[in-house]
Structure formats: C-alpha cells, structure tokens
C-alpha cells in the first residue's frame, strides 16, 4: 500500500484498531482489483488472436446509441483510434457515407429483440479511409439472465471482399449480356419471308435492314439446315407448329462466320396478318462468357477456401521470425502441434516448403515495417503432401511485449494446386 494512502487512512482513523481495520479493507480491495486485472489480461490474450477487434458497449440502443465501455488493442490497429478516444463514444464514429443504412436497421432490430447479429458494412478509420467490417455481436448477460452489455467481435475483411467482387462483377457482366441477348428479334410471315429484324439481330448477323427484309429466313442458315427449315413453311400453316417452339442451330454471318444460336418462337396475330417472332440468344458468345466466368471462378476458388484457414502472430526480433501464436486449425491441417512451431526462430522450415520460405520472409518483413502484404506459398499438410496457401498478413503490436511490433496474418488454403 502506498505511503500517501497509509498516512491518509491514519489521519481518518480514531484509534490504532480502526486504522488496522481500514488497512485490511483497502488491502482486500487492492487484491480483488489485481485479480480482476489479471483475469482481464488473460481474456485479452486469449481473444486477441482470433479476432481483429473486440468492443463491449452498454445495453442502451436509443440515440445517441450504446456507449463503448471496452475496446481491445485490435480495435486500435484497425481503426486508428486509441482506446481512450473511444471510451464513452458510440460505434457510430465508424460510420460514414457508404455505411449501409439497411444493415444498421437490421442490426438494431435484432439487438432490440435480444438476438445476436452477424453482418458486414463499410466502416471508416480515424483518417477517413474505408474498410469492410464483419460484425459478430452477442448479448452479455448477468447471473439472472438479464442482458447488460453487447460484445462485438470484428474482422477487417476488405481484402477478401475485393477478391469476391471480382466474381460478382463477372456475374453482373454476364447478366447484362443476357438481358441484351433476349431482345434479339426476327419476325417472318407464314411463308418464311423476313418482315422485320431488330438492331440487335442485324448487329449479330452483320446485315443491313434492307438486306434482310423480303429475304427467306432459311437463307440465313448453312445449307445443311435450310431444307428442314424450309419444309416447315412449305406445308399449310398450323399455329401449333410455331407457337412456343424451341430451336437450336447455326446462323450464318454475312461474312460467312457461323453463329451458334438458340431461340424460342411465338405466333402473333396482327391486323396486317400473322407473324412468327423468334427471340434469339447468341450461344457462341454465351459460351465464351461462361468459359471466362468458369475460369475466373476457378481462379477465385484457388484464392480462398474459407473452410480451411488459420490465424497466426509472428514477432521479428533482429529480422528473424518467431512464431508466437497459431490457431487450433493449424494443427488440424498440418498435423503439427502448436508447441512444435512456436517460441523460437527457424520454425518455418518445419512446415513451409523450402523454396518458398524466402517469399514468405519478404512478406513478413514488409509487414513488420508497416505495410500489409499478400503472398502465396506451399505448406506441408498432415498427409505429408504440400498444398498452396494464400497468406494475408498485416502489421500489428504484441500486447504482451508492450508496444513491440509484430505481424498478424490469416492463411487460407488454395484448392486444386498441390505438390506431392
């Protein structure tokens, strides 16, 4: 007990016995305080490895919102705010122009009902830069089962979302193409004479408007298809022969190039007479788009197989990596225990393919200097083979070493690339 406190207690005591009682009370409080601080430190050291950020807020949801009562070091690393800056504030300090209001409304509704929430939204760091925050929020309850606070586990998934967007954008491009292809129209009369070809059809085949009108439709197909199509029009017209009929074949471009198409026909009864309308899709182009999409999706599947990943923390004393922590998933996939790879330098060779170690070291050294880095290398798995992984690592601090710099990373396994 500090001497200033002892002197203060002595001055407030009426006699020596009261003084001793007060000392005992304050010593007990001091011990309890130290015990809780130890528990909190242990809790932080356990959780800081599995989550980028942890926030605990008050229960109140009404404006201005629940105040932050606790933030870990990971929160500081992601957002740039110090713990002292955010205590007493609300998580709204992270919101900005691109934060999805619908996500926030859904979050609030679930918390009002005392339910957990999982979601993603754009958040903003102290310097104004954006990142994509993945929340996992749960209620904290007291011994009576009453909710007293909310705990929010958070991941910065910006890099992963960028990879996903590559696939999403490709789907969007294909959807746009499909929308355009459904308006490729050709109208013929019951004798098979072309009376209208819209702009999309003319662009598809290379013909001008006046080159198509009045021409027989079968003349646009290669010779081997012409007779079967012509015979449909030679016989007496029957609506059932053309209504909702699907067809596949090859259209011949003006320059002679084949265009694989599929279409569906419909019969329209107009004042001017009956016409047969065919709505075409360019299967040749669609196939090329699908091949591209399949290739990109395959490439993406190599980037992240999210069911197989582990996290780690590495210190870099004198530029050499010392693995301080790996998550449980590491042992599951490599067959190595945590003790085999943590605690001393030179452990990378136990599981990283020899030719790839320098590549990983370069990435770790960049991160310890304050730069996020992504690299691909091979690690040995439980069956003795080597598999490719993608390592997303970024600068961090090792709390147990004070403000000492370290590297934190997430390693995701890449499928379909294996070296035995």
Q: pLDDT band for position 161 (50/70/90)?
A: low
Residue 92 has pLDDT above 60, yes or no: yes
**Residue pLDDT, tens place only, 36-63:** 777 777 666 656 555 578 889 998 887 7
Separation CA 295–CA 288 (nearest Å):
11
C-alpha dihedral (40, 56, 76, 408), degrees to nearest 10: 70
pLDDT at residue 369 tops 70: yes
CA nearest to 389, candidates 352, 348, 335, 341: 352
The pLDDT value recorded for residue 163 is 58
Query: How confident is residue 176, by pLDDT bands cut at 50, 70 and 90?
Result: very low
* Res. 149: pLDDT tops 80: yes
**Tokens 């998550």, residue?**
327
Tell me: pLDDT of 175 over 50: no
Higher pLDDT, 189 or 39: 189
> What is the band of 166 on the pLDDT scale with cuts at 50, 70, 90?
low
- Transcribe 364-399 into DSSP letters: HHHHHTT--EEEEEEEE-TTS-EEEEEEEEEEEE-G
Of 417 and 330, the one with more pLDDT: 330
Q: How far apart are CA 324 and CA 361, in angstroms?
A: 16
What is the per-residue pLDDT for 349? 87
pLDDT of residue 410: 86
Between 8-12, 38-42, 208-212, 311-315, the lowest mean confidence (pLDDT) is in 38-42
> Of 206 and 416, which is predicted with more confidence?
206
Residues whose CB is less than 8 angstroms from the CB of residue 133 and which lie 6 or more positions away in sequence, other chains included? 78, 94, 120, 121, 122, 123, 154, 155, 156, 157
Measured CA to CA, the distance from residue 407 to residue 49 in angstroms comes to 11
**The pLDDT of residue 303:** 43
Residue ranges and CATH numbers for the domains of the chain are 3-46 (no CATH), 48-156 (3.30.450.20), 179-287 (3.30.450.20), 304-419 (3.30.450.20)
SS3 state at 42:
helix
pLDDT band at 306 (very low <50, low <70, confident <90, very high): very low
Where do we find the tokens 């509704």?
A: 109
Mean pLDDT of 86-113: 90
Higher pLDDT, 175 or 243: 243
Summarize pLDDT for 134-146 with one digit per residue, the tens. 888 888 888 888 8
pLDDT at 68: 93
Whether the pLDDT of residue 152 is over 50: the answer is yes
State the average pLDDT over residues 323-327.
Answer: 88
Which pLDDT tens digit goes with each residue over 216-262?
A: 999 998 888 788 888 888 888 888 888 888 888 888 888 888 888 88
Among all chains, which residue has been given the structure tokens 């609506």? 239
Q: What is the pLDDT of residues 59-86, one digit of tens each?
A: 888 777 889 998 888 888 889 999 899 9
118 or 355: which leads in pLDDT:
355
Higher per-residue confidence, 95 vs 10:
95
Q: What percentage of the chain reaches a pLDDT higher than 90?
A: 16
- Report how far residue 372's alpha carbon sits from residue 366's, in angstroms, rounded to the nearest whole number: 7
State the greatest distance between any 2 C-alpha atoms of the chain, in Å, as a whole number. Answer: 124
Which pLDDT score is estimated for 394?
86
Q: Which two tokens stand for residue 295?
A: 């290739």
Residue 120: pLDDT band with limits 50, 70, 90: confident
Euclidean distance between CA atoms 112 and 105, whole angstroms: 11
pLDDT of residue 292: 56
């Amino acid at each position: 007990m500090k001497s200033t406190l002892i002197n203060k207690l002595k001055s407030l005591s009426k006699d020596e016995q009261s003084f001793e009682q007060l000392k005992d009370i304050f010593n007990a409080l001091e011990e309890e305080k130290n015990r809780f601080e130890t528990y909190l430190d242990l809790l932080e050291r356990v959780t800081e490895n599995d989550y980028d950020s942890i926030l605990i807020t008050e229960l109140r949801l009404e404006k201005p919102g629940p105040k932050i009562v606790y933030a870990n070091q990971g929160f500081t690393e992601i957002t740039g705010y110090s713990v002292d800056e955010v205590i007493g504030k609300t998580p709204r300090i992270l919101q900005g122009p691109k934060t999805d209001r619908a996500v926030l409304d859904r979050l609030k509704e679930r918390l009002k009902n005392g339910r957990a929430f999982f979601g993603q939204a754009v958040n903003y760091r102290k310097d104004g830069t954006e990142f994509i925050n993945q929340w996992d929020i749960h209620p904290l309850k007291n011994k009576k089962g009453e909710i007293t606070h909310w705990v929010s586990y958070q991941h910065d998934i910006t890099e992963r979302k960028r990879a996903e967007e590559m696939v999403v954008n490709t789907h969007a491009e294909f959807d746009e193409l499909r929308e355009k292809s459904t308006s490729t129209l050709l109208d013929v009369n019951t004798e098979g004479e072309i009376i209208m070809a819209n702009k999309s059809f003319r662009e598809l085949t290379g013909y001008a408007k006046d080159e198509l009108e009045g021409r027989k439709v079968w003349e646009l197909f290669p010779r081997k298809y012409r007779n079967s199509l012509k015979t449909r029009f030679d016989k007496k017209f029957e609506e059932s022969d053309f209504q909702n009929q699907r067809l596949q074949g090859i259209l011949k471009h003006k320059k002679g190039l084949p265009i694989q198409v599929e279409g569906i026909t419909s019969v329209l009864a107009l004042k001017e007479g009956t016409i047969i309308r065919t709505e075409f899709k360019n299967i040749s182009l669609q196939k090329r788009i699908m091949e591209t999409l399949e290739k990109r999706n395959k490439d993406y599947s190599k980037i992240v197989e999210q069911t197989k990943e582990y996290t780690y923390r590495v210190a870099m004393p004198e530029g050499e990596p010392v693995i301080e922590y790996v998550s449980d998933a590491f042992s599951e996939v490599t067959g190595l225990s945590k003790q085999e790879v943590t605690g001393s330098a030179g452990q990378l060779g136990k599981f990283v393919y020899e030719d790839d170690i320098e590549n990983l070291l370069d990435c770790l050294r960049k991160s310890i200097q304050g730069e996020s880095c992504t690299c691909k290398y091979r690690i040995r798995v439980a069956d003795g083979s080597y598999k490719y992984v993608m390592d997303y690592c970024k600068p961090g601090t090792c709390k147990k070493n004070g403000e000492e710099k370290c590297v934190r990373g997430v390693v995701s396994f890449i499928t379909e690339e294996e070296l035995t």
